[in-house]
Structure 1
Amino acid sequence: MISIVFDLDGTLADTSRDMLKAANLCFEEMGYSDVLSEAMHRGTALHGGRAMLTKGLTLLKEPNLANVVSEYYPKFLKYYRENLYEKTVFYDGAITCVEKMAKQGWNVGICTNKPEDLAKSLLSKMSAQNYFKALVGADTLSVRKPDPAPFFETLRRLNGKPNRSCLVGDSITDYKTAKAADVPIILVDFPPNDTDMSSLKPDAIIGHFDELVPTIEKLFLKIK
């Protein structure tokens, strides 16, 4: 049986706008307004809260950057939890694709660097929690991606096997995770991602979810 493990942010769903709002609320608390913009920084948002705080504080020329990021990251999580599902949307075709995988008897799970409770809450708010048989977040284990342990834990919960699995993601972190786990990596090239996917030389790149199932089928024919 094939097991497909997805990343969440930037892969299944565009969470950038709600994450940017949470980061800007942190900057407002510091006394600044609209430090990060949707036009310029949605790609940064998909790299997570710390990345956005670092970017904004760098723009503000904060001399004590690391300490301020550490201080405000819990506040970012608080603001994000309060504004988790205002503008977040699944990418076009994502759920249809997951449904097709389920009909074919494939196991589908999520391995994300979003804290587990936030990931579960978001899926619940989007009425999508039942589509995924397993979810492992940044704090489920003592390590997070690109360590392969969260991927293997997701696979264990799916009753899957590494030689019949692949990771679908959108970042160098996902790429490194798949390489460490020695499984195929398919990268999605969806906006607002700012990563040059082709430079990573993944097993495949897709530009729409319509392409994913045929891509996986071809990939596993090659593996045979």
Structure 2
Amino acid sequence: MRTVIFDLDGTLADTSGDLLAAANTCFRDLGLGDLLTSADSGTALKGGRAMLRLGFSRVDGYGEDEVDRQYQPLLDAYAQDIDSHTVLYPGAMDAVRALKDDGYVVAICTNKPEGLAETLMNSLGVRDEFAALLGADTLPVRKPDPEHLFETVRRAGGHIDKSLLVGDTLTDRKTSANAGRPSILVTFGPGDDDVRDLNPEGLIGHFDELHAEVRRLIG
């Protein structure tokens, strides 16, 4: 079965606003105020620790120990307000449904913790569109380890040799390369990587372009 695996943050949905808000909750609780702004959206998509490191780099006296201490509070704050600012990208679900109608299996492979990813996709009302969802803590490994991608394909009921990954970052590009599978990277996400320089097998500037690229790459 031909299988299309999607990254979540920065690919299917812009989650940066809620991620930044969760990090700023931690900073405010320390009396530091909001240390991150919308200009830091690219860092938000690199995970909680990346946001904490960036914020603490803007004040004196905080190091990696505080990053470790604040990581769980950040996850807790995010879980309490996970979808105030998050939006699916235009055309994302139309593209997903069109792929399914054409016989493709679709699933999600994300480095967001699985429970948070499940909560978010259910809150957005689209979890049932995907045959499987694996997060950062589903397996002992995560992207860019290819086993994270392989197991997502398996659980979705697809075939690894007829699969590809749709993502938005260097991590996604490395994952597909490590797996020996093609990737399609989106150019509209807020990430810091210039995906054009990563030489993916496919690029799209809007989800309207996805179906044609998927067909070109895996039939």
TM-score, normalising length: structure 1: 0.95
> Counterpart of 1:85 in 2: which secondary structure?
coil
Q: Identify the residue that residue 12 of structure 2 maps to in structure 1.
A: 12
Match of 1:203 among 201, 204, 210: 201
* CA–CA separation in structure 2 for the residues paired with 1:165 and 1:143: 19
User: Aligned match of 2:180 in 178, 182, 206?
Assistant: 182
| CA offsets 1:66-90 (integer angstroms, 9 cap, x no match) | 1111110001000000010101000
Paired position in structure 1 for 2:132: 134
CA distance in 1: counterparts of 2:207 and 2:63, whole angstroms:
38
User: 1:166-194, CA deviations, whole angstroms, 9 ceiling, x for partnerless residues?
Assistant: 00011111111111111001111114222
Following superposition, the deviation at residue 10 of structure 1 comes to: 0.2
SS state at 2:57 partner: helix
Contact 2:154 2:160 in 1 (8 A): no
Distance 1:12 1:33 in 2: 30
Q: Tell me the distance in 2 between the aligned counterparts of 1:61 and 1:152.
A: 43
Question: In structure 1, which of residues 167, 170, 183 is the aligned counterpart of residue 168 of structure 2?
Answer: 170
- Following the alignment from structure 2 to structure 1, what is the Cα–Cα distance between the partners of residues 31 and 154? 46
What root-mean-square deviation, in Å, do the aligned CA atoms of Structure 1 and Structure 2 show?
Answer: 1.0
CA distance 1:210–1:89, shift in 2 (3 Å): same
Number of residue-to-residue matches in the alignment: 219
Q: Which among 80, 83, 86 is matched to residue 82 of structure 1?
A: 80
Q: Once the 2 structures are TM-superposed, how far is the Cα of residue 220 of structure 1 from its aligned partner?
A: 2.5
**Which AA in structure 2 matches 1:157?**
R
Deviations 1:38-74 (A, max 9, x none): 1x11111111111100111112244x52111111000
Report what 2:211 is aligned to: 213
Q: Which runs of 4+ in 1 moved over 6 A?
A: none
Q: Which residue of 2 aligns with 1:45?
A: 44
TM-score under structure 2 length normalisation: 0.97
Q: Which runs of 5+ in 2 are unaligned?
A: none
Specify the SS of the correspondent of 1:156.
Answer: helix
Q: Which amino acid aligns with 2:197?
A: S
**Structure 1 stretches of 5 or more lacking a match?**
none
TM-aligned CA deviation for residue 109 of structure 1: 0.2
Give the Cα–Cα distance (whole angstroms) in 2 for the partners of residues 207 and 51 of structure 1: 26
How many Å separate the matches in 2 of 1:115 and 1:17? Answer: 17
Query: Could you report, residue by residue, the CA deviation over 1:161-219 in whole angstroms, capped at 9, with x for unpaired residues?
Result: 22200000111111111111110011111142221111111101111000011011112
Q: How far apart, CA to CA, are the structure 1 residues paired with 2:105 and 2:19?
A: 29
Is the Cα contact below 8 Å between 2:168 and 2:189 reproduced in 1? no
